[in-house]
Amino acid sequence: MGAADVAYRIPSEPRSAGWVRGELRRQLRKWGIGGELVCVAELLVTELVANAVRAQAGSGAAWVGVRFVVAGGRLRLEVRDGSAEVPVVKDEVEEDAECGRGLVLVDALAGGWGVEADGIGKVVWAELAVVGAV
């Protein structure tokens, strides 16, 4: 499997998560990736974009960066925002809370995930194993 990547700059708005899901689906099809992995990847990228948009709320930041990379048998989903706030998996979330479960899902479903500071904000990434694509 070779390496391939694609990157986007999207508006820092909640509705952008839907656009990113569609673009991810299209790109994965192009790379020959299908099945359950697509559903899991869509869920992960939705959570990462939602967290990035929420982290930037009120800051005036207009954009979020999104990148999909397939290399070395892994699909890497990256979301860059301008906030230095590091996301944390919450041990407990109130039953009726509207948010706070996203990183629990990312932690449970991804083969790995993490945060990298980039001097302006951060990149939050998640990876999934991929078999034969690109």
pTM of the predicted protein model: 0.88
Q: How far apart are CA 12 and CA 53, in angstroms?
A: 5
Tell me the per-residue pLDDT of 47-100, one tens digit each, with 9 for 90 and over.
Answer: 999 999 998 887 778 999 999 999 999 999 999 999 888 877 666 655 554 555
DSSP state of 14: T
Within 10 angstroms of residue 133's Cβ, the number of other Cβ atoms is 17
27-43 b/e (C-beta count within 10 Å ≥ 16 → b): bbeebebeeebbebbbb
User: What are the pLDDT digits (tens) for 114-133?
Assistant: 999 988 899 999 999 997 65
